[in-house]
Amino acid sequence: MSGIADRLRLDMILYTPILQARLGEFTALDHVPAGEFVNVMPLFEVASSKRGTIADTYAFFKRTSKRLPAELRIAVDLHGHPDFLPGTRQPTIGLLEDLNAWGIPALPVIHMDDSHRRLADFAGIATRTGLGAAIRLTSLTEPGAVRATSTTLRAMHSQTGLQPQSCDLLIDFGLLASRQTIDQLSTRLRAVIDWTLHGGWRSVTLAAGSLPADMSRFPTGRATLLPRLESMLWNQQGRAGLGFGDYGVQSPTTRRRAFARRPLPNLRYTTDDAWHVYRWPHVTETNELGCTPSAGLLLPLISLPPTAH
C-alpha cells in the first residue's frame, strides 16, 4: 500500500476518486476491503450523451447496480443533465431514488450554479435518505471567489435547510498542468482550506488530477514518468483532516475530448510521487522475448517498487 493510502487509512481521512463508471474502475473498487468503505466515497460523473438523460441515467443504474460492492457510499454527479418540465418525474432524482432503493447509498452532488428546483429536489432526497449531500466547488482561487461562494452557500442553506454537518465538501481543481501551477495556487489555496476546514462540514476534500488527456506524444515501448501533481498539492497543504481526491487513472479533461477509435495499448501506474505511463505500438508479431505487445506491456511493471499501486 502506498504512503498516501497508509495516511488516509490510519488518519481516517476520506478518499474521493472522481470516476465515470468504467469497467476498470468497478474492478478496482472490488479490491477495497469492506472495513475501509468508511474512508472511501467515489464520486461518479454520469456522462451525458446524444441518447438523452433518461437513457444515460438508466445505463448508469444498470452498471452500478450490478458492479458496486454492497454498502459502499457513492456521490452521483448529474451536472451535465437538464431539469425536465414541472409535473414530470425527474430522471436525475429517479436515479438517486432507485440506487438507494437498490441498497446503494447514493448522495446527490450539488453545484453552485444548480437551479432552485434542482437544489430543492437534491435537498429533499438528501434529507429523506439521511445521507446528506456532496458539494463540488471549482475556481475557488479566483479573486473574490471565496466571498462569492460563501454568500451562495449561505443562501443554499437557507433555501434547502441542508446544514454543513450533513454535507461533504469537495474542492476540485481539475487538471494541474505543471509544478508552477501548484506554486501559483499555494498561497491562495491555504486561505481557502482555512475557510473550509472551519466551516463545520462533515468532510473537506482536495481533488485534482495531472494526467494529460493527450498521450500521443509519449514514446512507445518504455515508461514515461510524470510528477503526480495532485499528490504534491495535497501533501503541500499538510492539513489534518483534509481528504484526498483524484481522477483515478484518467485525465480530468478526458470526458471532454474525442479519441481515436483504436488508441495504442497503454497502462498508467502510480507511486506516491509519480505516474508511470506505458504505451505499446500496434503490432501483432512477438518481440525478442517471445511476447506479444499485450504481454510485453506488462513486463516493465515487474521492476516497479512494491509501493506502487
Q: 161 near 123, Cβ under 8 Å?
A: yes
| Mean pLDDT for all residues in the chain | 82
Cα(279)–Cα(228) distance, rounded to whole angstroms?
Answer: 18
Cα(304)–Cα(271) distance, rounded to whole angstroms?
Answer: 9
The domains found in the chain, sorted by start residue, are 3-256 (3.20.20.70)
Query: pLDDT for 151-175, tens place per residue?
Result: 888 888 888 889 999 999 999 998 8
246 has which bridge partners?
A: 17
The helices-and-strands tally (H runs, E runs) of the chain is: 9, 11
pLDDT of 284 above 60 = no
pTM: 0.84
User: How many other C-beta atoms lie within 10 A of the C-beta of residue 237?
Assistant: 14
SS3 content of the chain, % helix, strand, coil (to 5): 40, 20, 40
Assign 306 a pLDDT band (cuts: 50, 70, 90).
Answer: low
Burial of 204 (0-12, 13-18, 19+ CB in 10 A): buried
Query: pLDDT for 71-112, tens place per residue?
Result: 899 999 999 898 877 767 789 999 999 999 999 999 999 999
